[in-house]
Amino acid sequence: MTEIHRAIIPPPAAWTSGELGGKAPLVREAGPAVVRALDDLAARLRGRALPQVTRADMDHPALNALMDEVRADVMEGRGIGIVRGPEPGRYDPDDYQRLYWGLGTYLGRGVVQSFFGDHVARVERNPDLPWRGTTTDMELRPHTDFHEVMSLAAVSLPVEGGVSGFVSSLAVHNEVLRARPDLLPVLYEGWYNVSVLKREASPRKTPIFSCTGGQVSCFYNRVFFQKPDDSPEPFPEALTEAMRLMDQIAGRPDIRADFTLEPGEIAFWHNFTVMHSRTAFQDSEERRRLLLRLWLNVDEGGRPMSEEIRARARVIDRDHLEGQRPAPVPA
């Protein structure tokens, strides 16, 4: 267990929705020069397999300036940055996915996101696929995923709902410190984490909060914190209480920022300083919610954090690569 951080974490990394005041402070506009660069890249990279699109392929002065700002927002600022424009309808869907993947190369290395081998995941209601957060229309409460940087690109909106929520997990840490500092030790100790596909438990406890090099990080998805079948150790009551408190804090409207990602807006965020959520949504035949998603590992210049947290990304990457099968044809 890392040393427990017992001081209030200052802005900009620890922010609240009340301080933020809406989506606007997070947005970086893609101006005409960026749009022209993307148009040129769409034509030049057409037909290229996604993993073959590299950071070098995306090199352009206008793009470099924009994405350097976004990377600074994610890695050094509030932990989240949003690129606005151009809208997906400007491009062929395959070209847009290729450009989206290319923008991700400015922040990290994209990975396969399921055993279907999808490098860019489709986040949409699809009852024909196995249940995951990406295939259901139900509410998802504030949580983290497994990779250091995550991204969503909005393509189309539902009839209603589907509002995205973002909350600084460092602001949640501040609130736990203020309200129940006695619960921090059990959050720093954490619990065993069960892998998504193979259902094997981590050999060591994975911390929910950890502090490395003076920087606090958070890994939190209570679905995967489970008691190993072969463990006589009971699930700690104090941890249940601490997670309940985290859920309450992360759901507070003065803490969590809720807004709709509009088509043409791409959000990038640091998975271990910002939690994300979603309200339930309703589609119709004419209007269906679709977002695209990237998972990005940061190989150089990443955040110092607990090795147990980093190991979870390696496990899910291994499981997805070992379990790959042909992708279904979209309906």
The secondary structure element, H or E, covering residue 268 is: strand 265-270
- Residues 326 and 113: their CA atoms lie apart, in Å, by 13
pLDDT of 321: 86
Q: How many domains does the chain have?
A: 1
User: In this structure, is residue 12 part of a structural domain?
Assistant: no
Range of the domain at 236: 17-322
Three-class secondary structure of residue 35 per DSSP: helix
User: In this structure, is residue 327 part of a structural domain?
Assistant: no
Among candidates 121, 120, 125, 127, which has minimal Cα distance to 162? 125
Bridge partners of 276, per DSSP, are 143, 166
Q: Do 171 and 19 touch, CB atoms closer than 8 A? A: no
User: In this structure, is residue 258 part of a structural domain?
Assistant: yes
pLDDT of 42: 98
> 294 φ, ψ to 5°?
-120, 140
User: In this structure, is residue 2 part of a structural domain?
Assistant: no
User: In this structure, is residue 331 part of a structural domain?
Assistant: no
pLDDT of 223: 86
State pLDDT tens for residues 2-43: 899 999 999 999 999 999 999 999 999 999 999 999 999 999
User: In this structure, is residue 158 part of a structural domain?
Assistant: yes
pLDDT of 71: 98
Bridge partners of 84, per DSSP, are 29, 265
Q: Which two tokens stand for residue 35?
A: 């749009």
Q: From the centroid of its chain, how far is CA 45?
A: 26
Among candidates 326, 311, 325, which has minimal Cα distance to 195? 311
pLDDT of 196: 62
Residues of the chain with pLDDT under 70: 196-199, 229-230, 324-331
User: In this structure, is residue 3 part of a structural domain?
Assistant: no
Burial 83-104 (b: 16+ CB within 10 A, else e): bbbbebeebeeebbbbbbbbbb
Q: The domain spanning residue 166 has which CATH number? A: 3.60.130.10
Three-class secondary structure of residue 150 per DSSP: strand
* Residue 304: how many other CB atoms lie within 10 Å: 11
User: In this structure, is residue 106 part of a structural domain?
Assistant: yes
Q: How far is CA 136 from CA 27, 118, 219, 247, 277, in A?
A: 28, 17, 23, 21, 13
- Residues 301 and 178: their CA atoms lie apart, in Å, by 31
Question: Residues with Cβ < 8 Å from 228, sequence gap 6 or more?
Answer: 192, 194, 201
Q: Do 73 and 26 touch, CB atoms closer than 8 A? A: yes
- Residues 1 and 209: their CA atoms lie apart, in Å, by 10
